[in-house]
Amino acid sequence: MLGTPPLTQSRTYLEIRPADEPLKADTVTRSITDLHRSVGDSGLLGGTEYPTYEMLIAATGTTGDTGQRSLAWYVGVDTPEHLDATRRALTACLPHSYDIVKTDCTYADLLNLPEVGDDTSTDADTLATDGTLTAEGSIADSNHRTTDDPAETAPLADWDVAAVDYHGVGDRPRDWQCPMKPIEEFVGADESTADWPLSRVFNALATGDAPALVQFIIQPKPDWTADRDDRIFELENGTDLYRYLIGKWIADFFTGTHDRERSSHNETTPRRDRYDTHASGTRHDSGYGSSPTQSSPDLQPSETRRIEALNAVDTRQSFTVNARAVALDTDPDPADATCRPLVDAFQPLTGAHYCIEGRRYSYGSKAANDVFEALLDRTLQTNPERRRHIVPGIPNRSPAIVVGPAALGGLCLTGGPALESDARRALETTPRERTGLELPPRAVLNRYLEAEGMHIGHPCTADREPLNATVSLPPTVQQLHTAITGQSGTGKSALGHGMLAGNFEATDGANIYIDSKGDGGPDAYLRAHYARHGDLDDVYYFDCAELLPGLPLLSIKPQLDADIDRVQAVENVADRHLEILAGYMGQETFHSAPMAVDVVEALIKALFDPVHGSDTISQTALLQAAARMHRSGEAPPVSDPHLRETLDDVTANSDRVFDNIMGAAGRRIRQASKDARLAPLFTHTDGTDAAFDLRDHLDEQCVIIFDTSGYRDDPRSLLTLAIISELWTALTRRAEDADPHDDLPQVNLFLEEAADIAASELLTDLLSQGRAFGVGVTVMLQFPEQLRDDYPRVYRELINDIGTHITGPVNDATGLARAFATDAHPVDDIATRISNLERGDWLVNPAAPFADTPPTPFYCQSRSLPPGHPDGEDPLDETTNTSYDAQRTLLETRMYRKYGLAIAEHTITTSESEAIESTPTDGESTPDTTPLHTTIPHTNRLPDCLTYVDDPPYPLVCTACERRYAPSTEGLRNAIQCCHELAAIDRADIPITTLDVPLTASDRRRSPLSDAQLRFLAAIYMAHQQRFDPDIEFDIVRDSMVRLQEYVGIDSDAVRDLIDDGLLKRDCTHPHYLYTVTPDGRDALEIEHREGIAHGDGKGDLSESSLHVALVEAGYRFLTQAYVDTPDSPAVEATRYLDVEGGRLDAAALDADDNVVVTLEAELSNNDTRRAVPSDFDTMAACDPNASIWVVKNRDGAHEVLQALNDPAEGDPRVQKTYSENMRPQDFTIDTAGLTDVYTFQTIRNQLTTE
């Protein structure tokens, strides 16, 4: 095997990668002159030294069905320090879409030759020695430069070479001074169809099958203006060809006198005469370079044309070019076939007097090897004239081709569109959509270069060449959020991990990464982190398939500790939990039953009730509360009247509607329990498990990784939503804690597969409001268009409210492209570019700090994987890996002991669930020693201005002056008014103080009821008897008996037990809760049936319910307000329970003569409604009142009264009119002696409030 040192000598080149954009002829001509530059003085004698450029076109591969022909285009310079200047010149000549990339290579690399060794021995017989040279059938000059050691320039063993070299040929010896055709004259020079000469070379090489190399050696030619002027002088004086007169005479002698100069130039088959006739002339101007006129009678037309051509030549910026081509193979046919079409490649450049001709040398010939030797040596001949040109018959040809800037562009440059399809394919012409983009101005780009922050990659120049620098997002722009998009497999996770690693030291706050991919990403990051920092002390890692974070999802304690108002804290937790459920279930599906959603929210708030609830709840408690409400029809007790009204509205529905609502509510709550592995996340409570409060770590320089990849799509989304919900709450708490003048440490959330939680409002809230809370969000998803139809709000946030966009290849990128589009690159262009990105390449549009100039989009190339990464170039070695494993074990132990909930230990089993249901309540506790007659030590409500001494008799204390007062109603009033205004105190906070419980200590011990239950029965009974001060203690018309629950200190389970045991009856839940002590309940209190109760005027029946008492009392107050207190009414007095002839009125208004003016009946439906209602109607009608008013429980009760009067059990109908069941009772228009108006309890109570 022959080793040829020049073949393996490496040089630095600029590789040109054309695009689909055509060249501009005027731009090329104007800019290519930048290559005409000197590099200094040479030698002691002075003179100017110029650089020598080398342009190469390499062809490898074959064109067959199984072959793949490849072309490459390179430009180099012999002075490496001028490579950058060469690049700038080429960049100015070529469109911006063309890539110019620096590369190092050898001729052997370019030709894809077998590996060349150092052995230079070979058989000289492998060289062709016949010396035969062929040039399209003509006999060529066989005067070749020889070598003493042919082995140095021969191809490899069994390989040989065919070649073509090119010469500049003039009609006359000095016609090299005449210009060739300028590129502006090419057909369609500024269009895609331009016939650029160099494109013929590419097209020819693309159809060959032998490795080939075309070389142009180019050197700026020193100023030859003086030679040009001398030539013009000779032309003007007819002496241009005096050296060739002998040849003319000889020709005339044999052929006759005639003019051998062509009058026209045939570009297809040019004929080159070696000499020319001329006539002597007289010069009109002694100055050089004058332009004679066509009217001069002394000049031949040929001289005139030459003078005009010479005056058009740029003699100060011309170039000398040597061009040659070789094809190598082990078979002569492919080599010769590859060279053959190259011979006439530059025919389009032919000028009027000067052209380029190619000569082909057969495979294996000595001449072909001489060309190959010249190529390897980069031989440059600079003199276009030879002594032998003076000999008649010798062609005026020279390898030194002289061209001006316009011709050089046509000789050495071409555009991608000018190439045929085979050449474009072989050259891999860069489509416009894959061309580079100009980098932003350096002053703008410097903000992102080598900055601390999220490392993205190496910025690429307009030639797609990466710079040796890294683009990073500094903390100043991170709050504007970042979106990373790209198809699966484009490297989003690797990019995200790199950004996370770079940002660790750049910010003082936490970097939170939610990894859902399951491809070993967390372990790879941990290894890289360890390799860089030597430990994992600043890392919190949750493998959520085994260890869940102990997040306080259903706790308001952290917010209360941050001095957030309790009401606001409850709202925050309730809203976040609803968002978790809605995001998991789907917004549309979740909110399709709005009343069920209201129930879920109300139940969460009820469990956080300051009186009846706690500061921490669980999913189990929420499920139990919903099931209990569904089963019993009774809402949990709450102290907030508005919340109570919401719950009462639900329970007031018909059984069928109520069942539907509660069923839908239960289904929504159970969404958080569908995957048993996630149950600990929602069931653990503060103080019982390890806890991980994100608020404790937001201001810590740390990395928090949640690996959610061990779950299917749905539970993974739920887990992600839970984490983001807790983060949002923690950020809110941090903002409440912070001094408004302080800068919060920057927090960053990296969220993979963000589209999985697009249904949640949490993501849009973070994107739209996060920057105000010091958090930046980096979302990673495959393509935003997947969200456009289903989640338009999230889609708009991703496109419009993201500061930094980074994208890899995305097929459907029209919407995404709007984030990158500029005037120079509209949406369609950017969308096409995005879809044509390659893996590892990113289009980046970084955000700019406030008031700074935003950069234009540019390309970045991915960085190498960091040290320690298992797939990188520098993974952990064996020793370091052992240390890493030890650190990883310590990390996992720390997470397990302090922060995590091990799923295997916390998953709730069926037996545990049953145990939870059967856990005793506070109401079942054993009797204590506190007295039953006072509520002060038991009440859950007390005005803030009061406290009490926790020792019998429990006196009240004014907190302002510490004065003591008796624990009675009067004492309570006085204690409040001691230093405060009674009107400023919330009535609900003023408890009852005294109970009448006629039980001895032994009675209490024998009773199966707890003291709390006994107190509650006594309070209900006393409220029924209206023995509390309605102004400050308890008003049966306005107050819910839930207040009595709060005042005596009993929980809802204990109340429910009283109902289940038949000691208490629930009368209603709307407009507020009312209970009645049953006869068995009175027996438990040992209250005699007639104790404190008498029959007759002003007293109700013994069996009267609390609801009926409330209806009567409300009616009584209404009569007083509407009639007695009205001047125009004859009524002067209202009374309760008035006996009249034939019966009894529940209430009535009387005039001064005790005549009944208005009658009122409080009616509660029962089994005897059709008999009782007509009887009461007749009693009222017999009084002949001005108005007869009926007060009922609700709308259904009103229609039952009307139905009983339409269809009585006995006698004729009392009322003829009927109404739809949907009509409100106050809209009835009936005017009879026994019925004029019907009011529900809610309506009449509201009128008492407003009138």
Tell me the two tokens of residue 1019.
């309070």
CA distance 592 to 1238: 36
Whether 18 is in a domain gets the answer yes
Same domain? 1116 vs 1069: no
Quote the DSSP letter at residue 678.
Answer: G
Residue 331's CB: how many other CB atoms inside 10 A? 14
Residue of higher predicted confidence among 762 and 1031: 1031
Q: Which of 89-98, 214-223, 380-389, 980-989 has the lowest mean pLDDT?
A: 380-389
Same domain? 621 vs 686: yes
Same domain? 389 vs 421: yes
What's residue 279's pLDDT?
Answer: 33
Position 266 confidence tier, pLDDT thresholds 50, 70, 90: very low
Last residue of a domain, one of 653, 674, 690: 690
Residue with tokens 């012409």: 429
Same domain? 1018 vs 1158: no
Whether 925 is in a domain gets the answer no
Q: Which of 240-254, 444-458, 894-908, 1173-1187 has the lowest mean pLDDT?
A: 240-254
CATH number, domain containing residue 1074: 1.10.10.10
Total structural domains within the chain: 4
Position 1125 confidence tier, pLDDT thresholds 50, 70, 90: very high
Q: Give how far Cα 810 sits from Cα of 806, 814, 833, Å.
A: 11, 10, 9
Same domain? 681 vs 639: yes
Find, among 40, 73, 39, 38, the residue nearest to 54 by Cα: 73
Same domain? 1144 vs 1040: no
For β-strands 11-17 and 99-105, DSSP reports them as antiparallel
pLDDT in tens, 367-400: 999 999 999 999 999 988 765 555 556 678 899 9
Same domain? 1066 vs 1016: yes
Same domain? 1145 vs 1071: no
Does the pLDDT value for residue 790 go beyond 80? no
What's residue 1098's pLDDT?
Answer: 55
Cβ atoms of residues 577 and 604 within 8 Å: yes
CA distance 600 to 622: 8
Same domain? 81 vs 161: yes
Which residues are paired to 233 by β-bridges?
A: none
Position 146 confidence tier, pLDDT thresholds 50, 70, 90: very low
Cβ atoms of residues 465 and 457 within 8 Å: no
Position 1099 confidence tier, pLDDT thresholds 50, 70, 90: low
Whether 918 is in a domain gets the answer no
Same domain? 65 vs 177: yes
Q: What are phi and psi of 247, to 5 degrees?
A: -60, -35
The DSSP result for 121-190, as a single string, is ---GGGS--S---EETTEE--------S-GGGTS-STT-EEEEEEEEEEESSTTGGGS----GGGSTTTT
Cα-Cα end-to-end distance for the chain = 115
Mean pLDDT, range 711-724, rounded to an integer:
87
Q: Give how far Cα 866 sits from Cα of 440, 502, 1034, 1050, Å.
A: 27, 10, 72, 63
For β-strands 354-361 and 160-170, DSSP reports them as antiparallel
Quote the DSSP letter at residue 694.
Answer: G
Does the pLDDT value for residue 922 go beyond 50? no
What's residue 19's pLDDT?
Answer: 84
Q: Report the SS3 class of residue 514.
A: strand
Same domain? 1138 vs 989: no
List of residues 6+ apart from 967 with CB closer than 8 A: 934, 936, 948, 953, 954, 955, 956, 993, 994
Whether 1242 is in a domain gets the answer yes
Most confident range (mean pLDDT) of 383-387, 908-912, 1132-1136, 1227-1231 is 1132-1136
E strand map for 246-352? 319-329
Q: Which of 103-117, 767-781, 829-843 has the lowest mean pLDDT?
A: 103-117
Position 907 confidence tier, pLDDT thresholds 50, 70, 90: low
Does the pLDDT value for residue 301 go beyond 90? no
CA distance 654 to 24: 83
Which residues are paired to 214 by β-bridges?
A: 57, 325
What's residue 409's pLDDT?
Answer: 87
Which residues are paired to 483 by β-bridges?
A: 779, 805
The domain of 578 spans 552-690
Last residue of a domain, one of 402, 427, 452: 427
What's residue 688's pLDDT?
Answer: 56
Quote the DSSP letter at residue 700.
Answer: S
Mean pLDDT, range 866-886, rounded to an integer:
91
CA distance 629 to 624: 8
Whether 1004 is in a domain gets the answer yes
Which residues are paired to 216 by β-bridges?
A: 55, 323
CATH number, domain containing residue 1152: 3.40.1350
Find, among 1194, 1140, 1062, 23, the residue nearest to 652 by Cα: 1194
Does the pLDDT value for residue 1076 go beyond 90? yes
With b for 16 or more beta-carbon neighbours within 10 A and e for fewer, the 158-174 pattern comes to ebbbbbbbbbbbbbbbb
Residue 226's CB: how many other CB atoms inside 10 A? 11
Last residue of a domain, one of 1019, 1052, 1085: 1085
User: C-alpha 469: how far from its chain's center?
Assistant: 26
Whether 815 is in a domain gets the answer no
pLDDT in tens, 1011-1024: 999 999 999 999 99
Same domain? 208 vs 64: yes
CA distance 178 to 402: 9
Whether 233 is in a domain gets the answer no
Whether 56 is in a domain gets the answer yes
Does the pLDDT value for residue 1210 go beyond 60? yes
Most confident range (mean pLDDT) of 93-97, 319-323, 875-879, 917-921 is 319-323
